[in-house]
Amino acid sequence: MSQDSQLERSITWGMIPFGSSGLQVRHLALWLGVGIWAALTLVGTQLQGFICLSLNIFFLALILLATWATRTISLTKMATSFCAGGFILGVISLLIMSVPPELTNDPLLRTLAIVPIEESCKLLPVFFLLWRGRRFSTWTLGATDILLLGAASGAGFAFAQDAYVHQSDPVRQFFFVLIPAAEIVSGRLSCGGAILSSLAAGTFGLGLLFAHRRAMKLFVLPLGLILAILDHFGLDYAQMPGAAPWLVATLNFVTVNGYLAAAIFVLLLLACIGADLYVLASSLPKLKELKYFSRKDRRESIDKLWDSSLDLRKLSFAFFRWRRKPIGGDLSLTVAILAKRLVNRYNALEPTSVTVTGGMSSAGLKVNFADTGKSIVIAPENLDQPLLSRSKELAGQLPVAAQLNLPERYHILQDGSAGGMGIVYKGKDTTTGAEVAIKVMHPQHSASKTHIQRFLLEARASSTLQHPHIVSLSDFGITDRSVAWLVMEWLEGKDLEQILKRERTIKLARFLKIFSQTASALAHSHSKGIIHRDVKPSNIILIRKGEEDDFVKIVDFGLAKMAPKDGEENFHLTLTGDTVGSPMFMSPEQCGGKNLDRRSDIYSLGCVMYSALTGKPPFTAESAGQLFYKQMYEMPPRPTSLNPTLEMAKTIEPLLFKALQKEPGKRFNSMEELYLELTRIGGLVSSSGFR
């Protein structure tokens, strides 16, 4: 049996065949235990047991509601404490049964031993859970958390005790009381186990939170337990033969009176909430990663937001203790892990899941993103389209070269191939004798004046780019058949897509060389106000220049701006018949149809870099719609999980994730910044000998 299956078995206690996925024995045991406990108690005590249970649950619900702004404790832990309280009652009952009655009924022994033991035992689940979490979770608890644990334990204890034990009290008469979890003992109202245990646990929690103050540790920490013991003592003392009337009266007033104890409890609850709020509001430094709603448009579901909010509270409590008593060991590790987790969350390194709904209409499939309230429409022809290149399909639609009517100085030498936004032919400039690439607009766009105007506009813009790593544009125009054309330098080499298809991944040194050139070219483009918008491996051509291999040339500049209309930009690549695999490199804002800026290219380049190092694009899917969704809402797996041999992973991974941030503002500020970082790492690689 593997270690994983052993681990799973130890958690589930095994599986019972049931339905499609089976039933955990542990779950069965849990509900069986609850069933036995509730059934035996309710059958044995009938209406009274039921009312006691209801009052205790109601009491817990009330204080849970009161502490919603400060609590970090999980409901599972509270349920554990509640059940453990019920179990402890049974253990105590068993112990009492085994002791001769004359001893248990001895007033002195009962006052000095049994009462303190009983009140302390009610807190055993709290102490156990605190001990169990001593290396992490205990440091993350506020005062209200510990109060809640005590309340749950006391409620579990009191439910059965009140139902069974106090029922047999001859003078007891049940009636509904105004204080939940209070009980009538010997004809008098007394606070029940839940309130007394809450008192004891609450002051313990306050003392633990402010343990750096000696007075709090010495006096406040045990105060609640002392009060609970006194309350119980007062109750028993009144039953003692020969009890002094003045003391009985005093105890009746001070301790046994349920309303007074309840009032003390309410004050303590307010004190705990106040103390926790003070810690939450004041302890953490004002860092943007440690704010509750620093990213208002963050795509987090409600439960994940609540989870992050709890982690922030936990960090506040742990940091509060660590700052005041900066000891090492477990407390500092707790602070470190929580702070790092929140940084990861801020940087969105953790995958998020978003519920997607949608339905077909005449326009296509409307996909709704629940968290953002936004939607996208995927055209019917793009639905369930496999992410494969359609180049071969398009090859059959290429126009005959002779029909293009290009200027006479250009001769077409080779048939064209579909790529980018148009068709590329190998040609020759008869004036200079140079081989050139002649790119013509795809015929399907030739009928559109808007397309032609934009094509020429972009061609003019591209002609302004003079950079060694950008393909140079030498001429452009439009034929009398309304076919727009561009003449560029002819590149003899392979594109990155072909290289990755053959080699899967590239080494770090080569990666840095290729992408620093690419980033440099794109930075130049951005400086001229031109956004590429279609950065992908097939647009990065590697040629040999002189003695130098892997000389980068970026192609297809500006053509990706050829969106047919506003609002359809996010689908331009599929609508224009280019490979529908391009969404693999589209930025979230591109997928969402938002306005783009230069940071969109940074994301796309991040996707390409990710592919080059891992052999896989950040996201893969079976349809364009699924891919859009992933680009917008999910983070890719860590590169090292796909390529464990990735060199300098600790340096490269943060770089990739920074480029791949969903929010443009969290990416590199500029392509120049990314270029400088790649160059800096290139220097480190050279000095460390990575090749």
Partner 1 sequence: MDIGSATFSIYRQLLPILASAGAGLSTLALLAGTAKLKRSKSSALPADPEARQPKYVLAAKQLLEQYEEHNPPPMETQSAIHLAITAFEQNRAASTPIKKSKS
Question: In this structure, what are the phi and psi dihedrals at residue 417, rounded to the nearest 5 degrees?
Answer: -130, 140
Stretch that binds partner 1, among 185-193, 325-333, 365-373, 430-438 (CB under 8 A): 325-333
Alpha-carbon distances of 597 from 306, 531, 679, rounded to whole Å: 33, 7, 23
Q: Closest distance between partner 1 and the C-beta of residue 33, in Å?
A: 3
Question: In this structure, what are the phi and psi dihedrals at residue 333, rounded to the nearest 5 degrees?
Answer: -65, -40
CB nearer to partner 1: give 41 or 255: 41
Of the candidates 1, 2, 3, 362, which one interacts with partner 1 according to CB under 8 A?
3
Eight-state DSSP code of residue 665: G
Q: Is 357 helix (H, G, I), strand (E, B) or coil?
A: strand
CB nearer to partner 1: give 111 or 640: 640
Number of residues located near partner 1, criterion CB under 8 A: 86
* Per-residue mark of binding to partner 1, 601-630 (x: CB under 8 A): ------------------------------
Q: Closest distance between partner 1 and the C-beta of residue 327, in Å?
A: 7
What are the percentages of helix, strand and coil residues in the chain, rounded to 5? 60, 10, 30
Question: Rule CB under 8 A: is residue 16 a binding residue for partner 1?
Answer: no
Question: Rule CB under 8 A: is residue 79 a binding residue for partner 1?
Answer: yes
Of the candidates 15, 23, 34, 62, which one interacts with partner 1 according to CB under 8 A?
34
Q: Closest distance between partner 1 and the C-beta of residue 214, in Å?
A: 23
Question: Rule CB under 8 A: is residue 482 a binding residue for partner 1?
Answer: no
Question: Rule CB under 8 A: is residue 10 a binding residue for partner 1?
Answer: yes
CB nearer to partner 1: give 414 or 641: 641
Q: Closest distance between partner 1 and the C-beta of residue 589, in Å?
A: 21
The Cα–Cα gap between 357 and 606 comes to 29
CB nearer to partner 1: give 499 or 655: 655
Which sign does the torsion angle of CA 142, 147, 150, 151 carry? negative
Q: Which of residues 370-429 bind partner 1 (CB under 8 A)?
A: none
Of the candidates 213, 324, 325, 340, which one interacts with partner 1 according to CB under 8 A?
340
For the CA atoms of 30, 32, 35, 40, the dihedral, rounded to the nearest 10 degrees, stands at -120
The number of beta carbons lying within 10 Å of the beta carbon of residue 246 is: 8
Question: Rule CB under 8 A: is residue 40 a binding residue for partner 1?
Answer: yes
Question: Rule CB under 8 A: is residue 336 a binding residue for partner 1?
Answer: yes
Q: Is 579 helix (H, G, I), strand (E, B) or coil?
A: coil
Q: Closest distance between partner 1 and the C-beta of residue 563, in Å?
A: 33
Q: Which of residues 42-71 bind partner 1 (CB under 8 A)?
A: 44
Task: State the DSSP string of 596-659.
Answer: --HHHHHHHHHHHHHHHHHSS-S---SSHHHHHHHHHH-PPPPHHHH-TT-TTHHHHHHHHHHH
Question: Rule CB under 8 A: is residue 145 a binding residue for partner 1?
Answer: no
The number of beta carbons lying within 10 Å of the beta carbon of residue 223 is: 19
Alpha-carbon distances of 583 from 2, 567, 580, 622, rounded to whole Å: 40, 16, 7, 12
The Cα–Cα gap between 415 and 422 comes to 13
For the CA atoms of 94, 99, 104, 106, the dihedral, rounded to the nearest 10 degrees, stands at 180
Question: Rule CB under 8 A: is residue 13 a binding residue for partner 1?
Answer: yes
Question: Rule CB under 8 A: is residue 98 a binding residue for partner 1?
Answer: no
Q: Which of residues 235-294 bind partner 1 (CB under 8 A)?
A: 285, 287-290
Stretch that binds partner 1, among 91-99, 171-179, 412-420, 604-612 (CB under 8 A): 91-99
Q: Closest distance between partner 1 and the C-beta of residue 499, in Å?
A: 27
CA nearest to 555, candidates 475, 605, 491, 477: 491
Q: Closest distance between partner 1 and the C-beta of residue 356, in Å?
A: 23
Q: Closest distance between partner 1 and the C-beta of residue 210, in Å?
A: 21
Of the candidates 14, 18, 26, 679, which one interacts with partner 1 according to CB under 8 A?
26
Partners of residue 478 on adjacent β-strands: 484
Q: Closest distance between partner 1 and the C-beta of residue 105, in Å?
A: 15
Question: Rule CB under 8 A: is residue 333 a binding residue for partner 1?
Answer: yes
Question: Rule CB under 8 A: is residue 328 a binding residue for partner 1?
Answer: yes
Q: Burial code of 273-288, b = ≥16 C-beta within 10 A, e = fewer?
A: bebbeebbeebbeeee
Stretch that binds partner 1, among 126-134, 233-241, 424-432, 606-614 (CB under 8 A): 126-134
Query: Which runs of consecutive H residues, i.e. helices, occur in 409-507?
Result: 443-446, 449-463, 496-503
CB nearer to partner 1: give 80 or 570: 80
Question: Rule CB under 8 A: is residue 178 a binding residue for partner 1?
Answer: no
Q: Which of residues 538-557 bind partner 1 (CB under 8 A)?
A: none
Question: Rule CB under 8 A: is residue 89 a binding residue for partner 1?
Answer: yes
Which sign does the torsion angle of CA 299, 303, 309, 312 carry? negative
Stretch that binds partner 1, among 493-501, 519-527, 549-557, 677-685 (CB under 8 A): 677-685
Of the candidates 17, 100, 170, 329, which one interacts with partner 1 according to CB under 8 A?
329
The Cα–Cα gap between 650 and 435 comes to 45
Q: Residue 474 is which amino acid?
A: S
The number of beta carbons lying within 10 Å of the beta carbon of residue 344 is: 14
**Structure-token match 């002051």, residue found:** 203
Q: Closest distance between partner 1 and the C-beta of residue 96, in Å?
A: 10
Stretch that binds partner 1, among 89-97, 115-123, 591-599, 618-626 (CB under 8 A): 89-97
563 exposure class (CB count in 10 Å sphere: 0-12, 13-18, 19+): buried
Of the candidates 60, 84, 256, 394, which one interacts with partner 1 according to CB under 8 A?
84
CB nearer to partner 1: give 147 or 342: 342
Q: Are 612 and 619 in contact (CB under 8 A)?
A: no
